[in-house]
Chain A
Amino acid sequence: MAQLTMVQAICDALQVALEEMPEVLLLGEDIGKNGGVFRATDGLWEHFGDERVIDTPLAEAGIIGSSIGLAVNGFKPVAEVQFLTFIYPAFEQIISHIARLHTRTQGAFPNSIVIRAPYGGGIRAPELHSDSTETFFIHTPGLKVVVPSTPSDAKGLLLAAIKQPDPVIFLEPMKLYRAFKEEVPAGWYEIPLGSARLVQTGTDVTILAWGAMVPVAMQGASECEKSGISCEVIDLRTLDPIDEETIIQSVTKTGRVVIVQEAPRTLGLGSELMAMIQEQAFYSLEAPMVRVTSYDVPVPMYALEDEFRPTAEKVAQAVYKVVQEGGM
């Protein structure tokens, strides 16, 4: 066990994967000698060499497209896209090919690829570095989408993503890369995809969050605690497939739901969560569900990012609202 930040835990996971799975290859821009712009691959190139930790030309479609050719030959490419906001040139390869290859060939050719991408805002990054467009990938059948919010989850989820056969979009909240350290188990361990994490149990309100919004949700919950409101906080961890069971169980217990989402509101995952809860647990609801999200405007330059993103205050307000409307 060691005390690691999230970015160190990710690097550790990649090192373990490279050691234990000879088919694993890392591809990306600046991931070699430079160790990645966030140092997520720090030291790996020195250790594993040029044929396993590969600095590629600056070309996202080239990276993801060639990953497909590698994957059908039994390699397990773990590709880094430097920022999620830069993934769009590779979008066609992901949506039209990676997501469909297994269906199209009825399993004949493997499409086992993990695409890692730092994402989200809150770090005063330059313009066009801070999108939260997980919805595109959740909306695309054939992909799994994973977002950790702690160092140990990041390692366990990344190793699980690498081990299992389906293609995974692995989104790493930049805001949490170095936000805190925690004990991270050494060696290989997995957190199965599709399982949410109960961050805190509670009885009055269920708060659903993922990625950088988990600490925001927790802060909002602590604020409400002062007024005697007990919040259950769930970190979804995997956005597709969703851990419906954990969510529905919690909602059935609390009857109240607040969803905290960093992405703009319209057709974010929050919309789908509301639909799912409405379909599966409507009669348990004591109050209308509330979403706390970013606005439906382009992700701003950083001077206004704090205005744009959900805050603990807004989460607390939302909790008060669902509690009042429910007549608690």
Chain B
Amino acid sequence: MIQWVTPKGKLTKQGLKHWSKFSNEEKREWLRWMILARQFDRRAILLQRQGRIGTYAPLEGQEAAQIGSSMALHSEDWVFPSYREHGVALKVGMPISQVFLYWMGRVEGCKPPEGVRLMPPTVPIATQIPQAVGAAWASKLRKETFVSVAYFGDGATSEGDFHEGLNFAGVFKLPVIFFCQNNGYAISVPFNRQSASETIAERAKAYQIPGVLVDGNDVLAVRGVMEEAITRARNGDGPTLIEAVTYRKGSHTTADDATRYRPSDEVKEWIEARDPVERWQTCLLHEGLISLEEIENWTHQCDEQVDEGIKEAESSTPARATHLFEHVYHQVSRKIMRQKTECETREIPWLN
């Protein structure tokens, strides 16, 4: 497994080698985004507990995997997320308020701002994988340079769509990165019940594509391997499967109770000894790139950004019922028109 920063925040030999590849400013940025993702996540859980948003899928513990990978993307690149990629969404340009809107049950949260190539969260597991392949195919057919990334979890690798997507990408040598956050559990089912293969990365071999196993809580290594995969893709050398080994510190969703299926010593180990944000903070502090005071300021600023986002989401105009009908088709049929009238007037039209 590729690891450039140890859980204690020390650079490994490989880490030292790659350290200067990224500017100090960028390395500080990663931390800032990771803090934002974490503060967003913690607030979202609180909002759910207060009944201000619906069931929510927390990401805490996976910040390095999400920020490290998305920091390597350009604005022309496509992102096909699952439903836990709030960190990625924020990084690629989704406003905080809209991510909240999504979890408030508002469809507006699915639509990114103009020019942001982010698909809506994918709920049915693994279905985004062949879709991301299609976007990469578009890039290749048009001889463009953009790449496409599919984000998914360990559970998704048991689905047929995972196989179909990787197989297509291998056959057509498409510029797509399959970024798997293996957080050890698909809701309650541990990876050893998901698959008999030791790692997910090793499955890449069957598709004749590179498979990379990386410490997903090491933002430097994630950023580095993602950069390599993207460069290969942009150069026409085809897809890569990255397995980022990580852990969700909390439950699958706010409706789940992870204590039912995860041993407490395991959880404790990941929370206390392997936290991705602390690891990077320690590393940056040690390298003298940041001060505790700055971290505190950033955390405070991120909290304010999140507050703003909540305010904006909660003060947005309530959804109109007729919105239901507006985008079902480009060309509205008589049937839909009639039902829209029925909805507006609250009268069944054929009774008139």
Contact = CB atoms under 8 A, between A and B. Distances in A.
B120 interface: yes
A245 B110 CA distance: 36
A106 B127 contact: no
B130 to A, nearest CB: 3
B334 A244 contact: yes
B130 A69 contact: yes
Nearest to B335: A241
B188 interface: no
B327 A102 contact: yes
Nearest to A99: B328
B328 A103 contact: yes
16 contacts: A56-B168, A62-B168, A66-B130, A66-B168, A68-B131, A68-B134, A69-B136, A69-B138, A70-B137, A71-B134, A92-B127, A93-B127, A103-B107, A107-B327, A144-B329, A240-B333
Interface string B139-178: 1011000001000000000001100110110010000000
Counting chain B residues whose Cβ lies within 8 A of the other chain, the interface size class is 35 or more
A109 B142 CA distance: 18
B138 A166 contact: no
A257 interface: no
Contacts of B326: 106
A159 interface: no
Given A66-B131, A102-B327, A165-B330, A61 B164 contact: yes
Most buried by B among A57, A93, A97: A97
Interface in A222-270: 240-242, 244-245
A164 interface: yes
Given A104-B120, A105-B111, A75 B138 contact: yes
Given A70-B134, A70-B135, A102 B329 contact: yes
Contacts of B133: 62, 65-66, 69
Interface in A92-149: 92-93, 96-97, 101-109, 141-142, 144
Contacts of B123: 96
Nearest to A89: B160
Contacts of B108: 106
Interface string B104-133: 000110111000000110011001011111
Contact of B138 (A70, A105, A144, A242): A70
A65 B142 CA distance: 19
A300 interface: no
Given A164-B330, A164-B331, 18 more contacts: A57-B164, A62-B164, A65-B127, A69-B132, A69-B133, A73-B78, A73-B134, A73-B135, A75-B138, A75-B141, A93-B127, A104-B120, A106-B108, A109-B119, A141-B328, A166-B329, A241-B333, A241-B335
Contact of B130 (A62, A102, A107, A242): A62
Nearest to B140: A51
A70 to B, nearest CB: 4
B157 to A, nearest CB: 15
A65 B165 contact: yes
Given A66-B130, A75-B138, A105 B168 contact: no
Interface in A60-95: 61-62, 64-75, 77, 89, 92-93
